């Protein structure tokens, strides 16, 4: 073991696996644990103490220090395959689907709704596959936010980390207030709203204090409930559309006087369809959580590939099928649909569809599930933001006095959890008369953040493959290679850039802008596009501060070994070759299933 590796102080035990490659120094990836003694209460108190580790060799370069620090983060590896499957699904099925889709239906119509979500699902596939490849090879602290620093550029990594942390910081209070508003469906008096806010807030914080295992188990339960609800709605929706209950509906709402699109001109219809991408980004946000969780997964090589592929298919099927039924059951002219992504359970198109067609009882069930979905996304927000803040500090972006990299003996990034939870207290704006304005600006902060994150993941994958080629290495050493290849990442990045351009047009010249005041146009622009200038300011500001004017780290200089958990790359290649031979010998239907799922 080399001198630069971290060692655990006296009283702790260390287990490690070593990564090696010809001509590359081995780097350990230790898992830290501690010996317990005394009463359960004493052990509980001690679990909040920091896992103390020695400083790294000061002679290391900045890139080496960041790579080793994130690879050796003392997070616990308690997540199993079932947790990973449900974490990504749970993060992506929330108020964006149950409520926010109503806003998209109102502004784009049923056809525009499907086009927007359909195109979004294609680059989600490319992103998920690219993320799976990177996360299997480098299950490090911070996941994809760390890859931006290692494979693209330090300034890009700074902007990506800060963008992702801000995104989840604002999602937490947003989701908690959503839950408090949901209970209004049953006529709950407004004076009790603070009580429900406090209840949801406490539940989310307590779950995360149980560590990654508590988070994983909670997401597993929450996601099963949400998936069951969506499947039940799909079955019920098909019956309603086919006329099993009442008259035949079919494509009534796609034709006159309703129409498949919103707007009388091609330009208006196009803008309406483009507006879907913002709400789709909000709805799909969280599908990348499986990559962030890789650092806390026991065996990422076995669990991550299937999790990434299956997550895409499940999310796509749930979204596309359920939204198709929504477009068939609810008119985009329905006055009950919301005009923004703020959350009102009574405005959920799922609830409207059931109420409009005389279904009793189920609307209340859907609202209960919306509450659970909000808890799930809020739970994911604390998890994601706390891990991102910890990795942000480990990469040297945060002042030392903030102590963001603090990880306790139970593997919890405690300071990150505290900061996220404190920011979550904004949820008590539920009692304010200005909650609508605050909602809109919180949404503006997170609106396009996911698109930037997904584009960054695709770019990291492109740069990683470029580094493999430049260093004379091939994909046969990869435990899992993206099924859509590096071409899929180019496609995903290209489409996301086009969406940013289209969204700029929609934000700067909204439908009916000639009748709008200058102040209204400016407000509309920043409500849609605020996250983009924030990311740009972070990127350029870091460039100026560091006086680093390089765009990309040279491919030949990239560290593509630190953080891998496999002991022997030559043995790994042999194992992969054997696995491919075994798969090739199977019947074609099994080979297709393995490729897709």
113: domain CATH number is 1.20.1740.10
Could you tell me which of 45, 5, 6, 43 has the C-alpha nearest to residue 25? 5
C-alpha–C-alpha distance, residues 110 and 145, integer Å: 35
Transcribe 551-588 into DSSP letters.
SS--GGG---STT---S-HHHHHHHHHHHHHHHHTS-H
pLDDT for the residue numbered 435: 59
pLDDT for the residue numbered 6: 39
pLDDT for the residue numbered 469: 92
In a domain, 581, yes or no: no
Angle, vertex CA 30, rays to CA 24 and CA 35, nearest 5:
160
- Own/partner pairs, 349-352, CB within 8 angstroms, 24+ separation: 349/101, 349/102, 349/105, 350/98, 350/233, 350/322, 350/326, 351/185, 352/102
pLDDT for the residue numbered 477: 82
In a domain, 590, yes or no: no
12-15/24-28 β-pairing: unpaired
Contact present, 436 and 481 (Cβ < 8 Å): no
Residues 6 or more apart whose CB falls under 8 angstroms from that of 304 comprise 84, 132, 135, 136, 139, 290, 294, 297, 480
In a domain, 52, yes or no: yes
pLDDT for the residue numbered 17: 36
Domain count, the chain: 1
C-alpha–C-alpha distance, residues 588 and 456, integer Å: 35
pLDDT for the residue numbered 304: 80
Tell me the C-alpha to C-alpha distance, in Å, between residue 499 and each of 387, 425, 455, 457, 492. 28, 33, 11, 16, 11
**Could you list the pLDDT tens digit for every one of the 597 residues in the chain?**
333 333 333 333 333 333 333 333 334 444 444 555 567 777 777 777 777 666 666 666 666 667 777 766 667 777 777 777 777 666 577 777 887 788 889 889 999 999 999 988 888 889 988 998 998 888 887 778 889 988 999 999 999 999 999 888 888 887 777 777 677 777 777 777 778 888 889 999 999 888 888 888 888 898 889 888 999 999 999 999 998 777 788 888 898 778 888 888 888 888 888 888 877 887 888 888 888 777 777 777 777 887 777 777 777 778 899 999 999 999 988 887 865 444 455 678 898 888 888 888 888 888 888 888 888 888 888 988 998 898 888 888 888 888 888 888 878 888 999 999 998 888 777 556 665 666 667 766 776 888 999 999 999 999 999 999 999 888 888 888 888 899 999 999 999 998 888 888 888 888 777 788 888 888 878 877 888 888 999 999 999 998 888 889 999 988 888 777 655 667 777 777 777 787 878 888 777 777 666
In a domain, 5, yes or no: no
12-15/18-21 β-pairing: unpaired
pLDDT for the residue numbered 164: 92
In a domain, 557, yes or no: yes
C-alpha–C-alpha distance, residues 343 and 373, integer Å: 12
Residues 6 or more apart whose CB falls under 8 angstroms from that of 79 comprise 87, 212, 213, 216, 293, 296, 297, 298
In a domain, 317, yes or no: yes
Contact present, 280 and 61 (Cβ < 8 Å): no
> Which of the 8 DSSP states describes residue 54?
P
In a domain, 578, yes or no: no
pLDDT for the residue numbered 433: 65
Domain extent at residue 117: 12-566
pLDDT for the residue numbered 28: 40
In a domain, 337, yes or no: yes
C-alpha–C-alpha distance, residues 113 and 280, integer Å: 9
Burial 19-36 (b: 16+ CB within 10 A, else e): bbbeeeebbbbbbbbbee
Per the listing, tokens 């599908």 go with: 287
pLDDT for the residue numbered 130: 92
DSSP E strand boundaries for 134-261: none
SS (H, E, C) 256-293: CCCCCCCCCCHHHHHHHHHCHHHHHHHHHCCCCHHHHH
């Amino acid at each position: 073991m080399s001198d630069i590796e971290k060692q655990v102080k006296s009283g702790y035990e260390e287990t490690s696996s070593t990564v090696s490659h010809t001509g590359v120094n081995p780097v350990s990836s230790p898992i830290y644990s501690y010996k317990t003694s005394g009463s359960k209460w004493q052990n509980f108190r001690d679990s909040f103490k920091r896992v103390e580790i020695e400083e790294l060799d000061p002679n290391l370069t900045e890139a080496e220090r960041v790579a080793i620090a994130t690879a050796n983060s003392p997070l616990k590896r308690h997540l199993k395959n079932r947790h990973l499957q449900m974490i990504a699904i749970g993060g992506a099925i929330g108020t964006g689907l149950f409520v926010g889709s109503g806003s998209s239906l109102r502004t784009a119509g049923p056809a525009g709704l499907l086009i927007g979500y359909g195109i979004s699902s294609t680059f989600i596939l490319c992103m998920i596959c690219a993320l799976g490849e990177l996360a299997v090879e480098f299950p490090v602290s911070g996941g994809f936010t760390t890859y931006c620093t290692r494979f693209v550029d330090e300034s890009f990594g700074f902007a990506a980390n800060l963008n992702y942390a801000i995104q989840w910081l604002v999602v937490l209070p947003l989701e908690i207030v959503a839950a408090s508003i949901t209970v209004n469906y049953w006529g709950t008096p407004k004076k009790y709203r603070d009580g429900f806010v406090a209840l949801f807030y406490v539940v989310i914080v307590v779950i995360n204090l149980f560590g990654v295992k508590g988070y994983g188990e909670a997401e597993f339960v929450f996601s099963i409930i949400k998936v069951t609800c969506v499947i039940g709605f799909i079955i019920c929706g098909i019956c309603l559309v086919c006329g099993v209950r009442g008259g035949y509906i079919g494509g009534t709402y796609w034709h006159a006087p309703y129409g498949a699109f919103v707007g009388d001109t091609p330009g208006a219809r196009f803008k309406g369809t483009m507006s879907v991408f913002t709400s789709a980004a909000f709805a799909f946000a969280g599908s990348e959580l499986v990559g962030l969780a890789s650092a806390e997964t026991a065996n990422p090589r076995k669990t991550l590939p299937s999790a990434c592929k299956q997550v895409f298919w499940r999310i796509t099927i749930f979204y596309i099928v359920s939204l198709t039924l929504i477009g068939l059951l609810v008119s985009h002219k329905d006055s009950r649909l919301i005009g923004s992504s703020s959350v009102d359970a009574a405005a959920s198109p799922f609830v409207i569809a059931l109420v409009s067609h005389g279904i009793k009882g189920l609307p209340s069930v859907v609202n209960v599930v919306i509450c659970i979905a909000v808890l799930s996304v809020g739970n994911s927000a604390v998890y994601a933001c706390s891990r991102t803040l910890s990795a942000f500090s480990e990469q040297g972006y945060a002042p030392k006095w903030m102590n963001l990299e603090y990880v306790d003996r139970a593997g919890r990034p405690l300071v990150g959890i505290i900061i996220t939870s404190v920011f979550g207290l904004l949820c008590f704006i539920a009692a304010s008369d200005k909650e609508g304005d605050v909602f809109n600006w919180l949404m503006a902060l997170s609106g396009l953040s996911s698109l930037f994150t997904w584009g960054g993941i695709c770019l990291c994958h492109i740069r990683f493959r470029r580094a493999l080629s430049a260093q004379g290495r091939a994909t046969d050493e990869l435990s899992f290679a993206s099924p859509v290849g590096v071409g899929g990442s180019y496609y995903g990045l290209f489409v996301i850039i086009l969406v940013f351009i289209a969204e700029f047009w929609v934000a700067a010249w909204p439908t009916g802008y000639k009748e709008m005041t200058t102040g209204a146009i400016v407000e509309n622009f920043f409500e849609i596009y605020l996250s983009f200038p924030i990311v740009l300011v972070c990127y350029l500001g870091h460039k100026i501060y560091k006086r680093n004017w390089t765009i990309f780290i040279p491919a030949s200089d990239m560290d593509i070994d630190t953080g891998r958990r496999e002991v022997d790359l030559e043995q790994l290649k042999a194992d992969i070759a054997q696995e491919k031979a075994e798969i090739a010998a199977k019947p074609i239907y099994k080979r297709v299933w393995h490729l897709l799922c």
